[in-house]
Amino acid sequence: MTGTPALLGALGLVALVFGFLNLLVGLFGAGIDPFWVGGNLAVGALLLVVAGVRSVESLRERLASGGARRAGRYGSSAILSTVFAIAIVWLLGFLATRYPVRFDWSEQKVHSLSDQTTKLLAGLDTDVRVLALYPAIEAQPVREILDRYAYASPRFAVEFADPTERPDLLEKNGITEEQLGRGLVRVAIGEESTQLTDVTEENLTNALVKLTRKTEKTVYFLEGHNERSLAGEAGTGKEGFARAADALKNERYRVEPLLLAAKGEVPPDADVVIVAGATRPLLEDEHAALTRYLARGGALLVMVDPRAKTDLVGDVRGWGIDVGDDIIVDRKLALFGRATTPFASRYDTAHAITKDLRETTLFHVARSVRPQTNAKGAFTELVLTGDSSWAETDLDRFFGEAVAELDGNDLKGPVSIAVAGTLDVSNAAAGDAANPKAAGEAGAESAAKPARLVVYGDSDFASNELLEAYRNRDLFLNSVNWLAGDVEAISIRPNRSRASRFQLSQEQFMTIRSLSLFVLPEAFGILGVLTWWTRRRPPER
């Protein structure tokens, strides 16, 4: 076939190939465009028929000559090569499907499961059933997330269904049209289940945590001394702790305020007590109650800001941890050059709280915290600032004249900003001079469970303003996990993609799909055929 018939035949093949491709893609759920498919198939068939009719005589001449046999050999070789190439591609596709391997080359690994999720899936001892109810046009982003979970654990089973085609699933699972909205995911373990409409790794992993944790532990936040607020206008402001409380609730902790002056004792169900930035003194009975709580094996998280007018510093020092009367300054490794907002990226890799931390945490107006050399307990420095930092001790000059200079009275960096460890409970009980009887009882009942203590020289790092900055959230939650004895929950939580999104209608999506998969590739195919035909024509004399 030469000349114009060859051109028409090649164009007809291009039209038929893209018509069948569009049909195949549509049959697998992407939707069929009848005009595009029908038009390509009709035009392709017509062009092939015209090319065949116009080349009948040339075909007869070639069959009568030896050129037909040579063309047959070459044609057979080309067909066999094509078949082998298709077979190899099919085999590679089969192997890739049977033994899939995933790669994530994004900077923040936002397309990979976090350490927290990986640990959670590895520890599953029962099957997780996930039902995703989405129209086909809305399902792909959710499918990408759920596929990562199913790839990571054989116990994670996912079923997708279009609610318009399977209304029986809505009735069976008690889902109303109002709940469904644009789609939802139902996660079930055994008889318990929960539903998600905003499907992100963070929300999905939190749902699994809530379903897999058998018991709910209680975290109390001390109040009454101008500590950080959990609720109300102060709690939701930038200095509040509402987000920290929500983060704990997402990990299945019960969060409660504790007015110790009214209670008299730390409640027996307290797994962790947090003192977040107190700025007023405690009553003597409150000091005694905290000491008795530690003596019976309690867990305490204390955050003390520089120059805070609290007498809790004396208690902390009595427990074996030095809280410096200073402020950490770093002119090189600080947020936008603000020397009192230092970054920290050095951690104790042997301690459970920080062993997986590799990225930066951010603090604001912090003081040094170090274990005492003769501490009656096993304490370690958790977090340290950079080499260029120091702990400025001349606070009058610093706050009065805004001048800070490293001298012999200052503590040169790296400066410890947090300490964690276990406390000798007999030492804690002995410190309760206000109530020696209670101290003796506490010491007797402390038995084998040691007290746990974590002290930070800053409370801003867990505030609403900074909790989501860098790895602050992980540091705060891991501290509570360790104090509560939930060592298996200590992890690095999901990264958050900063990519923006926009919503497409179904018509817009179909238009973009057709342009990218068919119209532009077919246009290139036609252009290639025209180029080939033009170049193979003999030059005119």
Q: Which of 114, 129, 130, 132 is nearest to 202 (CA)?
A: 114
Condensed to tens digits (0 to 9), the pLDDT of residues 301-317 reads 999 999 999 999 999 99
**H-helix segments, 31-122:** 34-54, 56-64, 67-98, 115-122
Lowest mean pLDDT among 38-47, 354-363, 376-385: 38-47
Q: Cα(434)–Cα(109) distance, rounded to whole angstroms? A: 54
Mean pLDDT score across all residues of the chain: 83
- Among positive and negative, which fits the CA dihedral 449, 265, 454, 477? positive
Going by pLDDT thresholds of 50, 70 and 90, the confidence category of residue 539 is low
Higher-confidence position of 18 and 218: 218
From CA 103, how far away is CA 115, in angstroms rounded? Answer: 16
pLDDT range class, residue 492, cuts 50, 70, 90: low
pLDDT of residue 378: 87
Sheet order of strands, 192-196 included = 156-161, 128-133, 184-189, 192-196
CA 254 to chain centre: 23
pLDDT of residue 441: 44
Higher pLDDT, 462 or 96: 462
Beta-strand pair 343-347/361-362 = antiparallel
| pLDDT tens by residue, 495-505 | 655 444 444 55
Pairing, β 270-276 against β 416-423: unpaired
Higher pLDDT: 136 or 324? It is 324
Beta bridge pairs of residue 346: 384
With a threshold of 0.85, does the pTM exceed it? Answer: no
CB atoms within 10 A of CB 28: 7
Predicted local distance difference test score (pLDDT) of residue 234 = 92
Q: Which range has the top average pLDDT, 4-18, 38-52, 326-340?
A: 326-340
Q: What is the pLDDT of residue 298?
A: 95
**Mean per-residue pLDDT, 82-99:** 76
Instruction: Provide the pLDDT confidence category of residue 125 given band limits of 50, 70 and 90.
Output: confident
**CA–CA distance, 541 with 481 (Å, rounded to integer):** 87
Q: Read off the pLDDT of each residue in 483-489 and give the average, rounded to a whole number.
A: 84
Residue 286: predicted pLDDT: 95
Check residue 388 and give its pLDDT.
Answer: 92
Rounded mean pLDDT, 178-197: 86
pLDDT for residue 31: 60
- pLDDT of 528 over the 50 cut: yes
Q: Which residue has the higher pLDDT, 345 or 448?
A: 345
- Residue 532 CA to chain centroid, in angstroms? 51
More confident residue, 42 or 506: 42
pLDDT at 429 over 60: no
Residue 10 confidence (pLDDT): 79
The alpha carbon of 143 is separated from its chain's Cα centroid by a whole number of angstroms, namely: 16
The more confidently predicted of residues 235 and 191 is 235
**51 pLDDT more than 60:** yes
Residue 302: the pLDDT is 97
Look at 37 and 111; give whichever has higher pLDDT: 37
**How distant, in Å, are the alpha carbons of 128, 324, 353, 460, 519 from that of 371?**
45, 11, 17, 22, 69
The confidence band for 440, taking pLDDT boundaries of 50, 70 and 90, is very low
Cβ atoms of residues 196 and 134 within 8 Å? no
Q: Is the pLDDT of residue 108 over 60?
A: no
In this predicted structure, the answer to whether residue 430 has a pLDDT above a threshold of 90 is no
Provide the pLDDT confidence category of residue 439 given band limits of 50, 70 and 90: very low
Name all domains of the chain by residue range, CATH numbers in brackets. Answer: 3-101+503-536 (no CATH), 115-205 (3.40.30.10), 213-489 (3.40.50.880)
- Point out the least confidently predicted range of 132-141, 172-181, 342-351: 172-181
Interior angle at CA 445, CA 318 and CA 285, nearest 5: 45
Q: What is the pairing mode between strands 270-276 and 299-303? A: parallel
- Rounded mean pLDDT of 368-387? 90
Look at residue 263 and tell me whether its pLDDT is greater than 80: yes
Out of 83-87, 157-161, 535-539, the most confident range is 157-161
Q: Which residue has the higher pLDDT, 534 or 399?
A: 399
| pLDDT band of 63, cuts 50, 70, 90 | low
More confident of the two residues 75 and 163: 163
Q: pLDDT tens digit string along 208-218? A: 888 887 778 99
pLDDT at 411 > cutoff 70: yes
High-pLDDT (> 90) share of the chain, % = 44
- Place 433 in a pLDDT band, splitting at 50, 70 and 90: very low
Q: Give 439 or 199, the one with higher predicted confidence.
A: 199
